[in-house]
Amino acid sequence: MSGDEIGMDDFLKVDIRVGRVTRAEPFPEARRPAYKLWVDFGAELGERRSSAQITAHYAPEDLVGRQVLAVVNFPPRQIGPMRSEVLVLGLPDAEGEIVLIGPDSDVPEGGRLH
Does 34 reside within a domain?
yes
- CB contact at 8 A, 100 and 65: no
**pLDDT, tens digit only, all 114 positions of the chain:** 456 899 999 888 999 999 999 999 999 998 899 999 999 999 999 999 999 999 999 999 999 999 999 999 999 999 989 999 999 999 999 999 999 999 999 999 999 998
Residue 100: its pLDDT value, please? 98
> What is the CATH number for 82?
2.40.50.140
Residue 87: its pLDDT value, please? 97
Does 40 reside within a domain?
yes
Does 94 reside within a domain?
yes
Instruction: Identify any residues that bridge with 16 across adjacent strands, giving them in sequence order.
Output: 71
C-alpha 9: how far from its chain's center? 22
Considering the entire predicted model, what is its pTM? 0.92
Q: What CA–CA distance (Å, rounded) separates 42 from 90?
A: 21
Does 111 reside within a domain?
no
Residue 114: its pLDDT value, please? 86
- DSSP notation for 12-47: HHS-EEEEEEEEEEE-TTSSSS-EEEEEE-HHHH-E
Does 6 reside within a domain?
no
- State the total domains in the chain: 1
Does 84 reside within a domain?
yes
Residue 68: its pLDDT value, please? 98
The whole domain housing 67 covers: 16-100
Does 108 reside within a domain?
no
Does 73 reside within a domain?
yes
